[in-house]
Amino acid sequence: MSRFVYADNAATTAVKPEVISEMMPYFTDKWGNPSSLHKKGREAAIALEEARARIAACLGAEAKEIYFTSCGSESDNWAIKGAAALGRAKGKTHIITSKIEHHAVLHTCEALEKDGFEVTYVGVDAEGFVNVDEIKTAISDKTAVVAIMTANNEIGTIEPIAEIAKIAHAHGALMFTDAVQAVGNIPVDVRALGVDMLALSGHKIHTPKGIGALYIKKGVRIRNLIDGGGQERGKRGGTENLPYIMGLARAMELAVERLPKMAEVARLRDRLRDELLKIPHTSLNGPRADEKRLPGNLNIGFEYIEGESISLLLDAEGICVSTGSACASASLDPSHVLLATGVPHERAHGSVRFSISDDTTAEDIDYILEKLPPVITRLREMSPLYSEAKAAHLI
């Protein structure tokens, strides 16, 4: 192995040194419990609220609208289940989401269906854009919450959240967006989006795993998911993970600072895309328009072979990629996202996601372009599907 290239940043990211530096004092000197009344506790409480304000500033929110969680999945669960409970108390027992959401959203909605809620799963077009007309048709005064992700984790589609939020509010429904993939890749402002709730996760923006946040607009009073000792203004029980929260605050600031660099990330992605599409029998999954796709996201379908085999052979060359969401990697089923966009089952199985970041270099792209084509050739030479297609003169 002559080089290491990490192109799976949508799954998780390396922890930044600046984030570690921000965290360290809260492991060693400032280790108090923010709920304690003594000096150590007050010191921790001050830091906690300063971190809350720093994160809020990065999102265009107020400090009191930020609540800390353990991860993006917890934030998704809290937002949707909390909004559903609030809605049920008002006779609202309907939820709208999309077919391409993260499983933390889809499985939460499935659980609520078992609890008596009706859920509408709206479709998407071939590029992954949510069908807004379906939302307009499905929504009613019985709708408690509309839950649509800001940007898709597999194909990078950036959804029209502000437009959807206006539709939700016109019918008295809450608007929630999972912005886990969007934060750090595109500007995210809760006021501009018009959302009532927004989820984010630290490990997607260079913190350790185990810290997330949920924005809840002032005046929105959803039910608690975790009850406890009154932390987070009585809304989320459990002693706050102060070192990780401090790391999240620094990571959010760094994410905002590097947004101008994402144009260069997009240029590297486009070069990778253009060269890979020169390989016969390949196709682009997701949006064609650069501005409608996350800058570091590229999803390519390689016909007649398996994405898992591509990933394993690239790993042997020191290149990390994925075949879709890391949270579904144990499943042998093709991506639900790709199937929802109309990608055939067999081509969905041969799709690979490359997710690069501002740490990715031109030399990294060169290395992928050097190692990947021979992998595709090797796998196709072993593929019965490829042989059958050649024998039938389909290729």
**Measured in whole angstroms, how far is the alpha carbon of residue 257 from the centre of its chain?**
20
In angstroms, the CA 324 to CA 315 distance is 15
Q: Is 327 a catalytic residue?
A: yes
Q: Are 153 and 142 in contact (CB under 8 A)?
A: no
Query: pLDDT tens, 34-51?
Result: 999 999 899 999 999 999
Name the band, by pLDDT with cuts 50, 70 and 90, for residue 324.
Answer: low
Q: Are 152 and 179 in contact (CB under 8 A)?
A: no
What spatial distance separates the first Cα and last Cα of the chain, rounded to whole Å?
A: 33
User: For 15-20, what is the mean pLDDT?
Assistant: 98
Name the band, by pLDDT with cuts 50, 70 and 90, for residue 388.
Answer: confident
- From the candidates 71, 109, 320, 327, give the one annotated as an active-site residue: 327
Among left, alpha and beta (phi > 0; psi -120 to 50; other), residue 281 is left
Q: Is the per-residue pLDDT at 56 higher than 60? A: yes
Of residues 376, 169, 147, 159, the one with CA closest to residue 277: 376
Query: pLDDT tens, 109-150?
Result: 999 999 999 999 999 999 999 999 999 999 999 999 999 999
Query: pLDDT tens, 86-106?
Result: 999 999 999 999 999 999 999
